[in-house]
Amino acid sequence: MLEAARCIVVRDLLVAWRRRSDVATALLFFVIVTSLFPLGIGAEPELLRSIAPGVIWVAALLSCMLSLGRLFAADHADGTLEQLLLSSEPLGVIAAAKALAHWLVSGLPLVLIAPLIALQYDLPAPLYPVLALSLLLGTPVLSLIGAIGAALTLGLRGGGVLLSLLVLPLYVPVLIMGAGSVDMAAAGLAPDGQLLLLAALLIVAAAFAPWAIAAALRISME
């Protein structure tokens, strides 16, 4: 059981490793966007500290969008998506594996590099774990919800823009909760409530999004 799903994760990681530049592009985008704000706004430490959580989270959303377009489009173009649809395991399981691979390649690096970005904003050290934890809980949700949009816009002309219009509004709760948890911690309050809500979002998304992705893929492949 789950052999096909494991195979998909390994395959996508292997393809990502052989096309490292694609992965680096999304990560560099995140680094550059977050670095532009201090340059544009000015080096006012108090101001930077207060905008840091929001800026980092918005940059994470945008960076995730950047790689979502390729999630199913590449498989669609080379015909391997048809083979995924004919795999020996339920399509929902395969879809979950695709979303997991997407997160490992584009979400996890953001979680790891975020403390370094926070340094630029002079975020107090005790907030680093909160920021990293909020991204760790939130970015998988971005991959899961984004994959629904990616599956729905598959093969459409101008699908990239449509995908952003479709998916970014759905990211709002994650953004509010994610940035909010760091803000709470910065104000000296316990961020547990926000983080738990993020965890709840992740559980709900992990339970339902794969089946929505599967349904969307079937519609797109007709």
Partner 1 sequence: MLEAVDLACERGGRSLFRGLSFALRDGELLRIAGPNGSGKTSLLRIVCGLLSPTAGTVLWDGAEIRRLREEYAKQLVYIGHAAAVKDDLTAAENLRIACTLAGHRVSPRQIRQALDSFELADLPVKRLSQGQRRRAVLARLVVSESMPLWLLDEPYAALDAAAGRLVEELIDGHAARGGAVAFTTHQDTRVRASQVIDLDA
Contacting residues toward partner 1, per CB under 8 A: 3-4, 7-8, 11, 14-15, 18-19, 78-80, 82-91, 221-222
Residue 67, both tokens: 């790689």
CB of 186 to partner 1, least distance (A): 43
CB of 146 to partner 1, least distance (A): 21
Closer to partner 1 at the Cβ: 177 or 214?
214
Closer to partner 1 at the Cβ: 60 or 150?
150
Closer to partner 1 at the Cβ: 15 or 206?
15
Residue 177, both tokens: 């909760």
Closest CA to 68 of 176, 126, 144: 144
CB of 118 to partner 1, least distance (A): 34
Closer to partner 1 at the Cβ: 106 or 164?
106
CB of 114 to partner 1, least distance (A): 29
CA distance 110 to 119: 14
Residue indicated by tokens 């789950």:
2
Closer to partner 1 at the Cβ: 91 or 132?
91
Closer to partner 1 at the Cβ: 12 or 183?
12
CB of 19 to partner 1, least distance (A): 6
Helix 159-167 and helix 127-152, axial crossing angle in degrees, nearest 10: 130
Is residue 69 within 8 Å of residue 77, measured between CB atoms?
no
Residue 161, both tokens: 């823009």
- The H-assigned helical ranges of the chain are 3-18, 20-41, 45-78, 80-85, 91-102, 108-120, 127-152, 159-167, 172-186, 192-221
Which one-letter DSSP state was computed for residue 87? -
CB of 66 to partner 1, least distance (A): 19
